[in-house]
Amino acid sequence: MADPMRIRAQAQGDKTTVRVLMSHEMETGQRKDAAGKVIPAWFIQEVSATHNGKPVMSAQWGPSVAKNPFLQFTIKGAKAGDKVAISWKDNRGETRSDEATVS
């Protein structure tokens, strides 16, 4: 299982800024190892976010996103104590979901 994400969600007025760090290799499939063999592509393809269970954001990612990616977005109308959940799925079908409380 993949390492946990770090999620911070901070409300300020009507807007809540969500910052997410994901632990992932994000291998492009373009690189070769020391023996000259292509390292197979391995990257996050789908990212989705929910606010108290309701979808608020979804994204499709490709191999050009950096290793250990950082994602920041703003949601409207969230209050302190609300739950923000993020999940991703990579091209190997592996998934990871984590949740944070808005502060």
The stretch among 37-45, 64-72, 84-92, 94-102 that binds other proteins (CB under 8 A) is 64-72
Query: Which of 10, 23, 97, 101: binder of other proteins (CB under 8 A)?
Result: 23
Query: Which of 72, 74, 95, 97: binder of other proteins (CB under 8 A)?
Result: 72
The stretch among 1-9, 76-84, 85-93, 95-103 that binds other proteins (CB under 8 A) is 1-9
Pairing status of strand 44-51 against strand 54-60: antiparallel
Output 1 or 66, the one with its CB closest to other proteins.
66
Binding positions for other proteins, rule: CB under 8 A: 3-4, 6, 19, 21, 23, 26, 55, 57-61, 64-73
